[in-house]
Amino acid sequence: MQQPEQKNIKKIAAIFAAVLALILLLLYMQGSFVSKISPGSTPLADGSNNPASNTAKVEKKLVDDILTWPGTVRSRIVTNIAPKMTARIIEIKVHASDKVKKGDVIARLDERDIRAQEHAALAGLAGASAQAYRAQADEQRTRSLYSKEAATREKLDAVVAQAKQAQADVNQATSAVSEIRSHLADTLLRAPFDGVIVKRLQEPGDMGLPGVPLVTLQIPKGLRLEAEVPATCAGHYSTGMEVTVRIDALNLTTNAQIDEISPEIDAQTRTQLVKAALPAIKGLEPGSFGWLDQACGQHEALLIPAGAVQHIGQLEVVKVLSEGRQLMRHIRTAKSFGDKIEVISGLNAGETVITNPQQAQ
CB proximity list for 105: less than 8 A, separation 6 or greater: 93, 188, 189, 190
For residue 62, the model assigns a pLDDT of 80
Let me know if residue 209 belongs to a domain: no
CATH code: domain of residue 225: 2.40.30.170
Let me know if residue 191 belongs to a domain: no
Residue 321 and residue 259 share a domain:
no
Q: How far apart are CA 194 and CA 103, in angstroms?
A: 8
Let me know if residue 168 belongs to a domain: yes
For residue 68, the model assigns a pLDDT of 86
Q: How far apart are CA 122 and CA 219, in angstroms?
A: 41
For residue 313, the model assigns a pLDDT of 83
For residue 300, the model assigns a pLDDT of 81
How confident is the prediction along the chain (361 residues), in pLDDT tens digits per residue?
A: 445 566 667 677 777 777 776 676 555 544 444 444 444 555 554 444 455 558 888 888 887 777 888 999 988 888 999 999 999 999 999 998 899 999 999 999 999 998 898 899 999 999 989 998 998 998 898 888 888 888 888 888 888 899 899 899 999 999 999 999 888 889 999 999 998 898 899 999 999 999 999 999 988 778 999 999 888 888 888 888 888 899 988 889 999 999 898 888 888 888 999 999 998 888 888 888 999 988 777 778 888 888 889 888 888 898 898 887 888 888 999 888 878 888 988 888 888 888 876 655 5
For residue 31, the model assigns a pLDDT of 46
**Of 79, 108, 82, nearest in space to 184 by CA:** 108
For residue 205, the model assigns a pLDDT of 92
DSSP of 233-287: HHTT--TT-EEEEEEGGGTEEEEEEEEEE-SPPPTTT-EEEEEEEPPP-TT--TT
* Residue 8 structural domain: 1-34
**Of 225, 237, 239, nearest in space to 276 by CA:** 225
Q: What is the 3-state secondary structure (H, E, C) of 170-227?
A: HHHHHHHHHHHHHHHHCCEEECCCCEEEEEECCCCCCEECCCCCCEEEECCCCEEEEE
Domain count, the chain: 4
Let me know if residue 321 belongs to a domain: yes
For residue 307, the model assigns a pLDDT of 85
Sheet harboring 188-190: ordered strands across? 188-190, 105-109, 87-92, 207-208
Final residue of a structural domain among 170, 186, 202: 186
Residues of the chain by 3-state class (helix, strand, coil), percent to 5: 30, 40, 30
Q: Are 243 and 257 in contact (CB under 8 A)?
A: yes
Residue 292 and residue 230 share a domain:
yes
Which sign, positive or negative, has the C-alpha torsion 38, 41, 43, 45? positive
For residue 133, the model assigns a pLDDT of 92
Residue 313 and residue 262 share a domain:
no
Backbone angles phi, psi at 188, to 5 degrees: -105, 115
Let me know if residue 141 belongs to a domain: yes
CA of 159: how far to CAs of 136, 152, 154, 191, in Å? 8, 11, 9, 51
